[in-house]
Amino acid sequence: MKKIVVLFSGQGSNLAYILEHLRGKKLEVAAAITNNPEAGGIAHAKRHGVSVEVLDHREYSDRESFDRALVERIESYRPDLTVLAGFMRILTPVFTERVKAINLHPSLLPRHRGLHAIEKSWEDEHSEGGVTVHWVSSELDGGEVIVQYELEKEGFETFEEYDETIRRIEKEALVEGICDVLKCD
């Protein structure tokens, strides 16, 4: 059975979607790790019986120290893949050179790397937006694309409608990306 470790920072809706849609596909979520002791995703993991670890990045002197501790925790589970599912940390080579990981990003990369990607996508000159699942590399949101879902922006009257749709399709793209990498069908 293939094992993944999921990293998250917030409400954990992507984690919850993984847990609800990848069970029974020869895949085990070995652990969920968050950098935020207040993250809502902790409850999702516990409800599904998944081991949860909290590594508060504020307790470390610098990014490299945090990344070393994170890599150590991930490696203890011996996952086939690490999945960044709303993990809001810029990772250093301490992480990117040791961990096989994919990331979910709410824009059509290489457009709109980093924060506020949905807003930037909504406001740009392109007629389409979307989401990307990509390999994690030392370049922020710069790894090789695994899956992209595209949608036309003209059908949306408000940013809120667009944002809601992006957040829905990103979950589907992430599950597809995990299965593409791990052949979990």
Alpha-carbon dihedral sign for residues 57, 77, 106, 97: positive
Helix 13-21 to helix 159-182 angle (10° resolution) is: 50
* Token output for 80: 């086939």
Active-site amino acid positions: 105
CA separation for the pair 27, 25 (Å, rounded): 5
* Token output for 103: 């990331």
CA separation for the pair 158, 145 (Å, rounded): 28
* Token output for 130: 């979307």
User: Which residues on adjacent β-strands are paired with residue 177?
Assistant: none
38: left (phi over 0), alpha (psi -120 to 50) or beta: alpha
Cα 12–chain centre separation: 10
23: exposed, middle or buried (C-beta count within 10 Å: 0-12, 13-18, 19+)?
A: exposed
